[in-house]
Amino acid sequence: MIAHSLAQLLHITPPAPPHDFAAFWQTRYQQALTVQPHPRLSHSGTHRAFEIYDLHYTSTNAFNIGGWLLIPRHTPVTRGAVIGHGYGGRDAPDVNLPLPSGTACLFPCFRGLSRSQRPPISNQPHYHVLHDLDKKDQYILGCCVEDLWLAVSALLSLYPATQQHLAYLGMSFGGGIGALALPWDSRIQRAHFNVPTFGHHPLRMTQPTWGSAAAIQTFHRQHPQLHVLDTLAYYDAAIAAQFIRVPTHIAAALVDPIVTPPGQFAIYNALTGTKQLFLLEQGHADYPHRAAQELALWLELQEFFAPL
């Protein structure tokens, strides 16, 4: 891994967007809004604070998305949150989130992963990230962004009272997908990205990594004629972050073997609106102060999401 100082990381600037970047995403968003998600729920458990439901809803291309929905047991639903997952997928919902009381929490599994597995999409990150990479309009990351938008539609259809009180939280893969989705969806009021990926693809292609970027690097070397950087320019979370206008909180790591830190900080640096940075010593790794840092981050996020 290449070591970077905090000063170096804070001076990384995002790439320039393709001339039709905003139009590309705005068109996709408007098309996604025409899809009726038809959420289906099945009660699957009870927690001290929540009723837990298995969830399915329809995304674009009639793709069935699976996940969970947590409904507060003791307070009416007045807020909502969509929570993305890392590239390892998700086996269960998280019942310990730093969100205000009365928040309904929807946990989608992005297409091809965990509860949303379906051939021919691989559920292995190093293959999933390559799915339709040679097709700008069909690349899997764009479809996952649409899954996020339809998760918001599903939550609003179930609980209209959450309108104007919606948040998004995403880690790693989910953070990058969130950064790509957020600029175009005014239904989301606040967001947190934890060690987000897909930031500054030209720089990611040069950085040593064990993460999904390694698969893209190899694919690019083996298939230079496909010009994958041209496609990836439309799926760059640091480019997209320049268009985010809502308060955004980012936890970025100084060292990370999976998601290169320059990419994480490129996303944070690109934000032009209200933003907060929580500095992690490491990402995607255990280290002596991890538990203490995670607690401090949880408390900071509790304050950040309080106005929701």
Beta-bridged to residue 58, according to DSSP, are: 64
* Mean pLDDT, residues 110-129: 97
Q: Which tens digits make up the pLDDT trace of 217-226?
A: 999 999 999 8
Q: How would residue 81 be classed by pLDDT, with cut points 50, 70 and 90?
A: very high
Q: Which residues contact 221 (CB under 8 A, 6 or more apart)?
A: none
Distance CA 265, CA 250 (A): 9
Q: Which tens digits make up the pLDDT trace of 243-285?
A: 999 999 999 999 999 999 999 999 999 999 999 999 999 999 9
Q: How would residue 129 be classed by pLDDT, with cut points 50, 70 and 90?
A: very high
8 Å CB contact between 80 and 104: yes
8 Å CB contact between 172 and 195: yes
The CATH number fitting domain 6-300, selected from 1.10.3720.10, 2.40.10.10, 3.10.560.10, 3.40.50.1820: 3.40.50.1820
Cis ω before 100 (30° cut-off from 0): no
Examine the pLDDT at 2 and tell me if it is beyond 90.
no
Distance CA 90, CA 69 (A): 13
Q: Which tens digits make up the pLDDT trace of 3-35?
A: 789 999 999 999 999 999 999 999 999 999 999
| pLDDT recorded at residue 1 | 58
Q: Which two tokens stand for residue 133?
A: 């990479």
Q: Which tens digits make up the pLDDT trace of 47-62?
A: 999 999 999 999 999 9
| pLDDT recorded at residue 3 | 73
Please tell me whether the overall predicted TM-score, pTM, comes out greater than 0.95 for this model.
Answer: yes
User: Rg of the chain's alpha carbons, rounded to an integer?
Assistant: 18
- Least confident range from 50-64, 201-215, 263-277, 292-306: namely 201-215
DSSP letters spanning 101-123: TTEEEEEE--TTSGGG--TTS-S
| pLDDT recorded at residue 95 | 95
DSSP letters spanning the chain: -----HHHHTT--PPPPPTTHHHHHHHHHHHHHTS----EEEEEEE-SSEEEEEEEEE-GGG-EEEEEEEEESSS---EEEEE---TT--SS--S--S--TTEEEEEE--TTSGGG--TTS-SSHHHHTTTTTT-TTT-HHHHHHHHHHHHHHHHHHH-GGGTT-EEEEEETHHHHHHHHHGGG-TT--EEEEES-----HHHHTTS--SSHHHHHHHHHHH-GGG-HHHHHGGG-HHHHHTT--S-EEEEEEEE-SSS-HHHHHHHHHH--SSEEEEEEEESSS--TTHHHHHHHHHHHHHHHHTT-
Computed over every residue of the chain, the mean pLDDT equals: 96
